[in-house]
């Protein structure tokens, strides 16, 4: 299955990470979220069957950051900077005005976390004896993508 990750930077050139919630509300029900508290790109997800990669990026942006954001962001401005297996990574800039329009979905918690090159040394890879509640923890492939993006 193909996945897409979009890493947005703010006006301070910091990459905005999203932290996964412990649970997610779906149609009034609460269900456990896989890998709670792990951080990930600003938004990401799977490409649906019969869907183009660019369509998936737009859909995921709308689902994870809200319609107001999606309606006011130029997805065409995103650039693919890294591909690892079936995982495509894109990057782009978000303005202060666009950031104010973000409404994170129920699968996220704690708002968006800005990180820069100087913060990279404090980011861990998800693995044994790593507690994502204790700091910023990423999946290995996303850690590699962030390292390339930050040139860390």
DSSP 72-98: TS-GGG-EEEEEETTEEEEEEE--HHH
Residue 78 CA to residue 96 CA, distance in Å, equals: 17
**Would you say 63 and 107 are in contact if contact means Cβ atoms under 8 Å apart?**
no
pLDDT digits (tens, 9 = 90+) for 10-53: 999 999 999 998 887 776 767 777 888 999 999 999 999 999 99
Span of 25-34, 54-63, 92-101 with lowest mean pLDDT:
25-34
Domain 3-150 CATH class label: alpha beta
User: What is the pLDDT averaged over residues 71-89?
Assistant: 97
What's the full length of the chain, in residues?
152
pLDDT at 29: 66
CA angle 76, 80, 84 (to 5 degrees): 145
**Structure tokens given for 108:** 């996220």
Tell me what percent of the residues of the chain surpass a pLDDT of 70.
99
User: What is the pLDDT averaged over residues 78-82?
Assistant: 97
Name the residue among 133, 106, 132, 104 with its Cα closest to residue 43: 104
Asked whether the predicted pLDDT for residue 152 surpasses 90, the reply is no
**In the chain, what are the domain boundaries?**
3-150
Residue 43 CA to residue 26 CA, distance in Å, equals: 18
User: What is the pLDDT averaged over residues 124-133?
Assistant: 94
pTM metric for this prediction:
0.93
């Amino acid at each position: 299955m193909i996945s897409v990750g979009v890493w947005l930077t703010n006006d301070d050139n910091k990459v905005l990470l999203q932290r996964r919630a412990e649970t997610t509300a779906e149609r009034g029900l609460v269900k456990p979220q896989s890998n709670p508290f792990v951080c990930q790109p600003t938004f990401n997800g799977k490409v649906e069957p019969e869907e183009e990669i660019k369509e998936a990026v737009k859909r995921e942006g709308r689902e994870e950051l809200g319609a107001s954001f999606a309606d006011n962001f130029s997805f065409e401005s995103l650039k693919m900077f890294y591909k690892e297996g079936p995982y495509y990574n894109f990057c782009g800039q978000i303005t202060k005005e666009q950031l104010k329009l973000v409404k994170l979905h129920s699968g996220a918690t704690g708002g968006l976390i800005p990180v820069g090159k100087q913060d990279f040394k404090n980011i861990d890879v998800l693995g044994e004896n790593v507690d994502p509640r204790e700091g910023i923890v990423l999946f290995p492939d996303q850690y590699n993508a962030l390292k390339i993006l930050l040139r860390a």
